[in-house]
């Protein structure tokens, strides 16, 4: 009978590979998560021209997968032109809403296929008649998830005033 000698390190590496464990020094690829922001303006894309009333902008953040966001799938508003935010409501994937510490909604984890929402009430600035009220919302994560389609991470909505 012939003996075969296999170093113990090789056995450990083979078992680790079979179990999906990486050896020291090897780096794992970050999970991919496609976050997509869409949105709409309540009442349409043209205002009656009254700058004393707030307009509602609704944004949706959907995790298109393939992996879950394990940190927090965040939405942040920016680039508000010809107006200002008077209130912000965030709605988590489970339907519970909360007023956020502006400008970011941080609803937490988001499984593949789940969505979270942000509603912004914007009031036009005085003298904004015949101008466009605009706001942009962008998505991000607080961890190392990689978004393979970054072109759908932001949504800009505009309303013509007047």
Q: What is the mean pLDDT of residues 102-106?
A: 89
pLDDT for residue 19 = 41
Residue 6 falls within a domain, yes or no? Answer: no
What is the H or E stretch that residue 19 is in? Answer: helix 8-19
Residue 7 falls within a domain, yes or no? Answer: no
pLDDT for residue 51 = 65
Residue 13 falls within a domain, yes or no? Answer: no
Domain span holding position 91: 30-160
Residue 20 falls within a domain, yes or no? Answer: no
Residue 39 falls within a domain, yes or no? Answer: yes
Rounded distance between C-alpha atoms, residue 161 and residue 137, angstroms: 20
Q: What is the mean pLDDT of residues 7-11?
A: 43
The yes-or-no verdict on residue 39 having pLDDT over 70 is yes
Q: Which of 45, 64, 42 has its CA nearest to residue 150? A: 64
Task: Record the pTM.
Answer: 0.78
Residue 44 falls within a domain, yes or no? Answer: yes
CATH of the domain at 39: 2.60.40.1510
pLDDT for residue 46 = 65
Whether the upstream peptide bond of residue 103 has omega within 30° of 0, thus cis, is: yes
- Total domains in the chain come to 1
Contact 32, 147 (CB under 8 A): yes
**DSSP state, 44?**
-
Each residue's pLDDT tens digit, 23-38 = 444 456 677 899 999 9
Residue 123 falls within a domain, yes or no? Answer: yes
The yes-or-no verdict on residue 12 having pLDDT over 70 is no
Each residue's pLDDT tens digit, 106-132 = 988 999 999 999 999 999 888 777 888
Write the CB contacts of 123 (distance below 8 Å, at least 6 apart in sequence).
51, 52, 53, 54, 55, 83, 84, 86
Percentage of the chain exceeding pLDDT 90: 50
Residue 95 falls within a domain, yes or no? Answer: yes
Main-chain dihedrals φ then ψ at residue 119, nearest 5 degrees: -115, 125
Rounded distance between C-alpha atoms, residue 153 and residue 16, angstroms: 37
Q: Is 39 exposed, middle or buried (0-12, 13-18, 19+ CB in 10 A)?
A: buried
């Amino acid at each position: 009978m012939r003996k075969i000698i296999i170093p113990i390190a090789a056995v450990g590496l083979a078992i680790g590979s079979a179990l999906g464990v990486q050896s020291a020094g090897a780096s794992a690829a970050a999970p991919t998560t496609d976050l997509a922001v869409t949105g709409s303006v309540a009442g349409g894309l043209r205002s009656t021209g009254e700058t004393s009333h707030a307009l509602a902008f609704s944004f949706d953040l959907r995790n298109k997968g393939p992996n879950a966001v394990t940190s927090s799938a965040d939405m942040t508003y920016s680039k508000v032109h010809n107006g200002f935010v008077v209130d912000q409501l965030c709605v988590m994937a489970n339907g519970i809403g909360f007023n956020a510490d502006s400008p970011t909604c941080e609803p937490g984890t988001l499984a593949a296929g789940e969505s979270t929402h942000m509603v912004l009430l914007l009031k036009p600035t005085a003298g904004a008649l015949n101008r466009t009220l605009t706001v942009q919302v962008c998505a991000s994560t607080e961890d190392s998830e990689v978004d393979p389609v970054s072109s759908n991470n932001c949504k800009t909505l505009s309303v013509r005033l007047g």
